[in-house]
Structure 1
Amino acid sequence: MAIALFNRIRPRAQVPVVETEKPAQDAEVSATGAAARGSLDEKDPSRFAHSDDDPTEDGETQDGVKGVEAITSVWTKRTLFFVYLMIWVIYFVDTMQQNMSNSLIPYVTSSFGQHSLLGATQIVSSIVGGLIKLPLAKVLDIWGRPQGYFAMVVCLTIGLAMMAGCNNVKTYAAAQVFYWVGYNGLTYTLGIFIADTSKLRNRAFMFAYASSPYLATTWIGGPLAAAFLKGPGWRWGFGAFTIITPVVTLPLSYIFWVNYRKAEKLNMVPKQPSGRTVWQSITHYAVEFDAFGLFLIIAGLALFLLPFSLYSYQANGWRSAMIIAMIVIGGLLCIAFVIWERFYAPKTFIPYKLLADRTVLGACILSASLFVSFYCWNAYFFSFLLVVNGLTITEASYVSNTYSMGSCFWALIVGVLIRYTGRFKWLAVWFGVPVTILGVGLMIHFRQPDTNIGYVVMCQIFIAVAGGTLVICEQMAAMAATTHQYVAVVLALEGMFASVGGAIGSVVAIAVWTSVFPQKLAELLPAGTDVAAVYGDITIQLSYPPGSPERIAINAAYGAAQKCQCIAATAVLVVALGSVLVWRDIKVSDYKQAKGVVI
């Protein structure tokens, strides 16, 4: 229905056309008509984001941007449509694999007797997976989109192979880093492809189109996980996709490579030898990618956040020398990163001029706050459904994926509304944030033992439709505030804030879980029960029949921990409201960014 409505309201110019880029105009004009193309104050640090006259600080469009503009100039409409079909297929396979993995994770960590490390394994992978987008944006802009895409396919495949063969939590955690670097990088690169090949006013719908496979894969992931568990085992669940992933993803890389070569032959992307030696090239790219700054921020955040999930495994808890050292060293590295970026970095890791734009910064803060909230309430939610609500793996996957399915469906409607109205801020302010707060707040009451599962699903639906609105709006806000030259960077910034927010949310959730859940188990379980075994293994939790004293105690402990997690998730959403209010009310129909044969 959403697609039919979209087709009905779009004008004939909606079909792919060859665009020429014109200076973008700020949509926040005054009633007196004083705003014009040059109306921004010369001292405004964000002015470069609204004009194509100065695409980069050095006045040069980077090779990766030139390359993709050349590709879109030489390919045909048929190729463009085939590329979008391939993007949909890739998203379908990857989301199906991810849904299956989410269902398998509790059994993977439980097989090592460490079910409560389920959240801890996400922290480093979330940090690295998010921060990798900024250097990846450099790869896409300096070397090219196809090269970055291929590298992410390799990382994703390695991560899947490592998960298939892991024999302990350490190996699994390392595999998660490779996997999430590859998965986040792959979806990020596909998002850049979409931004490169679509008009800004249509981009919201195209992003929603790319995520629409969730509408189908939500129903596949759970049964697929159950089939692997009952059959060849969870290892083959990851092993099968180690083969499937490159088979599905590499044809798109080939299409871009062929059209890039075609553009080269037409001298649209002339090659200029750098004249550098190998060592000079290594030094040059280490500076371009700010390798030292990247090391400081990844190591700093990882060391600072990890102790919050690991302290309960130390004999002395927070007084452990290792925990104290990790927090202190991590904090010092984060401070060193700020000093390095501000005073010493030849090429800054985070472009301050972009962050000075209130719309870009607001979009990034919204992304971070949403992910903090999501990871607070989502941690151990799948386990809660299995143990407290007594659902099967398939049923639990349906409930836990209500958010993904609902948000992806609603995003299609949001895309149509943005295409029709030309604006996005009103959707976030009047619908997205308030409904998110409502849905998360209601979970404080309804996510408890003996509560009908229908109320839990109701909360998920509220959060889903609001989330589908906010995710699209925040991406549109970041892209509308800049030019094509900076689209990769602002989306990387938004993704970095999201992943760091996710890591912080995981830390909060794990800190609550490791302090509340085992304490409640010790208080409520009958004397003689092995509390440590119950705490560490979901299969032992499920082994106690419903209605037994042990199961009642376990359910009550889950309810106490989940309530605290949901309170934290609701509180952080106050930040989300403020971050949306500072956006400029930009009219996206006034902007043209992409060149060539685009949608």
Structure 2
Amino acid sequence: MSLPSFLEKHRDPTPVDEDTKKPIDSEANINVQEQRSDDSERISEDVQAGVQAIQATATVWTTTALIIAYIMIFIIYFVDSMQQNVTAALNPYVTSSFALHSLTAATNIMSNIIGGLFKLPLAKILDIWGRPQGYFAMIVVLTVGIVMMAGCNNVETYAAAQVFYWVGYNGLGYSLSIFIADTSSLKNRALMFAYSNSPYIATVWIGGPIAESVLGGAGWRWGFGIFAIVTPAVTLPLWGLLAWNHNKAKKLGIIHRRNSGRTFLQSVKYYAIEFDLFGLILIAGGLALFLLPFSLYTYQGEGWRAPMIICMIIFGGLLLIGFGLWEKYWAPKTFLPYDLLTDRTVLGACILSGVLFVAWYIWNAYFSSFLQVVNDLSVTEASYVTRIYTIGSCFWAVVVGLLIRWSGRFKWLALYFGVPLTILGVGLMIHFRQPNTDIGYIVMCQLFIALSGGTLVICEQMAAMAVVSHQYVAVILAFEGMFSSVGGAIGSSISAAIWTGVFPDRLARYLPADEMANLAMIYADLETQLSYPVGSPTRDAIQQAYGDAQKYMLIAATAVLSLIIPSVIVWRDIQVKDFKQVKGRVV
């Protein structure tokens, strides 16, 4: 069957679950008729204040204001993606400057956990206090994180700065995603998400040269210092536009000021319950204590038997169990209704998100270093290869958005294209990411992973949003983001464990006898590894050690990716073309 015929076959105006042949609202807790009713443009009375505020704001947007907002979003993503590329290229050199190159993955663990979990309270900030307030807070946190990275003097401060940076960076991107969801129809949302990420196609070529220029000139600190100035300059104008239209709706009487009547202590208690503060402390502490030992055990004289490592794992596990019990039996308010939390489409999308990030962080943590040491690429050249995923996935996401808009469905794209291609791409790298292998084969694998990633990321977000009302869009995306960030932390932990367990052991096995005294420095410092000429016995030994560590990482990543098959199969085949989920002037 030709592609146009296949797409035409799926142009079904009725939102039907293809597995059960029932209307989608019978299982997904959605009143479709209510979403399609003639009075759907009225501000919802049964949603939280922040959701009401953005619905009211959307009714007073002019077309010009909406166009300007999307142009600003493009500029913000352009600068933020360029900043991320530079930061990723500088990261190994920052840890190496403290003689702790092996902590490259470990510095990502806490930042990924906290950065992902913070989306949950941020979702409540956006829903309860408002979109402009949450967005502004993320600008402040992101800027603080960049300033801290520029001024850090040890790896501990850098790790703390990474937490601020990723909380702000993820939070800023998340706030923009919620704005896009608020101002786009469901059938066009995949396309608008793809549009917002399209700047990555251009900035991938800029980050590497900037990083290399900074390293060869002013130093890595100025690589961060530049963006400490630029970031607030490009992000604040959108906040001003949001705040202005918010106040416009308030002056017109569409948004009403509410007096809670609570005292200060009553407000503290109220928001602690609304944000599920105790539950967040349990899960953040539990995940941190459980995952960190995987990267820290080699720094203990007794390894896994060290009392600190054992205590962290035990108490981390107990806190995670406590979180589950708290959410099920005692939490006064959970983030999502239980039926949505256990919905197969939502849960499948979240598992897919988590597994993709687990696999990604397993094989990607030391990829840039591998390309420089084993393939003898410069910082710029290595950044080009590592960013093939970014270019390909962002470009292909636009195509996926158009296909979803045309067919009204997304499951077929994920199941028949995205899933098999990503497993193929990662699996092939087991063989090709080794010394003396042509770089072209690695590029080919990156292209496979890029096309599949551009498909799966868009489809998983659509799957999560397609079964909820506007009230829960922010929270469901936060929940999906939590899975991806926790998945990234798990992947970083696994990669760090493999690296610290395999790489130094193989160095000791392969290094010439006269270089054994330098083993610790070679292990800890990327620049020391690069200082040995290509073709020398020591460089060959380092390259072989890299190859062995990478092989185990890729085997682990491929095995983990097998979980994405059932996570997509369980999705409903939802027709999104005719849903009216949001109110006001939208794309």
Q: TM-score, normalised by structure 1?
A: 0.93
Shift of 1:270: 0.7
Do 1:544 and 1:550's aligned partners in 2 also have CA atoms closer than 8 Å?
Answer: yes
Do 2:17 and 2:23's aligned partners in 1 also have CA atoms closer than 8 Å?
Answer: no
Flag the 1:317–1:307 CA change in 2: closer, same or farther, 3 A.
same
Match of 2:544 in 1: 556
Match of 2:17 in 1: 28
Flag the 1:157–1:534 CA change in 2: closer, same or farther, 3 A.
same
Shift of 1:165: 0.2
Do 1:27 and 1:590's aligned partners in 2 also have CA atoms closer than 8 Å?
Answer: no
Partner letter of residue 35 of structure 1? K
**4+ residue runs over 6 A deviation:** none
Task: Tell me how far apart the structure 1 counterparts of residues 220 and 523 of structure 2 sit (CA, whole Å).
Answer: 22
Q: Could you list the per-position Cα deviations for residues 45-81 of structure 1 after superposition, in whole angstroms to 9, with x for gaps in the alignment? A: x42476758x9xx982111110001111001000000
Flag the 1:37–1:124 CA change in 2: closer, same or farther, 3 A.
closer
Match of 2:491 in 1: 505
Match of 1:322 in 2: 308
Do 1:129 and 1:177's aligned partners in 2 also have CA atoms closer than 8 Å?
Answer: yes
Partner letter of residue 275 of structure 1? G
Aligned mate of 2:263, from 277, 286, 302:
277
Flag the 1:461–1:199 CA change in 2: closer, same or farther, 3 A.
same
Partner letter of residue 403 of structure 1? Y
Q: Secondary structure at the match of 1:528?
A: helix
Task: Tell me how far apart the structure 2 counterparts of residues 50 and 496 of structure 1 sit (CA, whole Å).
Answer: 28
Partner letter of residue 17 of structure 2? E
- RMSD, matched Cα: 1.8
Match of 1:5 in 2: none
Shift of 1:352: 2.5
Percent same amino acid among aligned pairs?
63
Pair 1:450-2:401 in alignment:
no
Match of 2:124 in 1: 138
Q: Secondary structure at the match of 2:585?
A: strand
Match of 1:6 in 2: none
Task: Tell me how far apart the structure 2 counterparts of residues 27 and 348 of structure 1 sit (CA, whole Å).
Answer: 29
Alignment of 1:299-314 (within 5 A): 299-314=285-300
Task: Tell me how far apart the structure 1 counterparts of residues 221 and 419 of structure 2 sit (CA, whole Å).
Answer: 40
Task: Tell me how far apart the structure 1 counterparts of residues 311 and 129 of structure 2 sit (CA, whole Å).
Answer: 39
Do 2:24 and 2:30's aligned partners in 1 also have CA atoms closer than 8 Å?
Answer: no
Match of 1:106 in 2: 92
Partner letter of residue 422 of structure 1? G
Match of 1:232 in 2: 218
5+ unaligned residues in a row in structure 1: which ranges? 1-8, 10-23
Shift of 1:35: 3.4
Do 2:375 and 2:435's aligned partners in 1 also have CA atoms closer than 8 Å?
Answer: yes
Pair 1:47-2:36 in alignment:
no
Do 1:62 and 1:141's aligned partners in 2 also have CA atoms closer than 8 Å?
Answer: yes
Match of 1:18 in 2: none
Partner letter of residue 556 of structure 1? Q
Partner letter of residue 29 of structure 2? R
Aligned residues: 568
Shift of 1:153: 0.6
Do 1:52 and 1:483's aligned partners in 2 also have CA atoms closer than 8 Å?
Answer: no
Pair 1:537-2:529 in alignment:
no
Match of 1:14 in 2: none
Shift of 1:368: 0.5
Q: TM-score, normalised by structure 2?
A: 0.94
Task: Tell me how far apart the structure 1 counterparts of residues 82 and 193 of structure 2 sit (CA, whole Å).
Answer: 18
Aligned mate of 2:557, from 569, 575, 591:
569
Q: Secondary structure at the match of 1:597?
A: coil
Do 1:418 and 1:424's aligned partners in 2 also have CA atoms closer than 8 Å?
Answer: yes
Task: Tell me how far apart the structure 1 counterparts of residues 101 and 16 of structure 2 sit (CA, whole Å).
Answer: 51
Q: Secondary structure at the match of 1:276?
A: coil
Match of 1:95 in 2: 81
Shift of 1:120: 0.1
Do 1:541 and 1:554's aligned partners in 2 also have CA atoms closer than 8 Å?
Answer: yes
Flag the 1:37–1:236 CA change in 2: closer, same or farther, 3 A.
closer
Do 1:202 and 1:419's aligned partners in 2 also have CA atoms closer than 8 Å?
Answer: yes
Task: Tell me how far apart the structure 2 counterparts of residues 340 and 107 of structure 1 sit (CA, whole Å).
Answer: 42
Pair 1:164-2:150 in alignment:
yes
Task: Tell me how far apart the structure 1 counterparts of residues 494 and 64 of structure 2 sit (CA, whole Å).
Answer: 48
Aligned mate of 2:322, from 326, 336, 355:
336
Q: Could you list the per-position Cα deviations for residues 96-128 of structure 1 after superposition, in whole angstroms to 9, with x for gaps in the alignment? A: 000001000010000000000000000000000
Flag the 1:202–1:566 CA change in 2: closer, same or farther, 3 A.
same
Alignment of 1:209-228 (within 5 A): 209-228=195-214
Shift of 1:355: 1.7
Task: Tell me how far apart the structure 2 counterparts of residues 539 and 342 of structure 1 sit (CA, whole Å).
Answer: 50
Q: Secondary structure at the match of 2:563?
A: helix
Shift of 1:353: 2.3
Q: Secondary structure at the match of 1:237?
A: helix
Task: Tell me how far apart the structure 2 counterparts of residues 252 and 284 of structure 1 sit (CA, whole Å).
Answer: 30
Q: Secondary structure at the match of 2:577?
A: helix
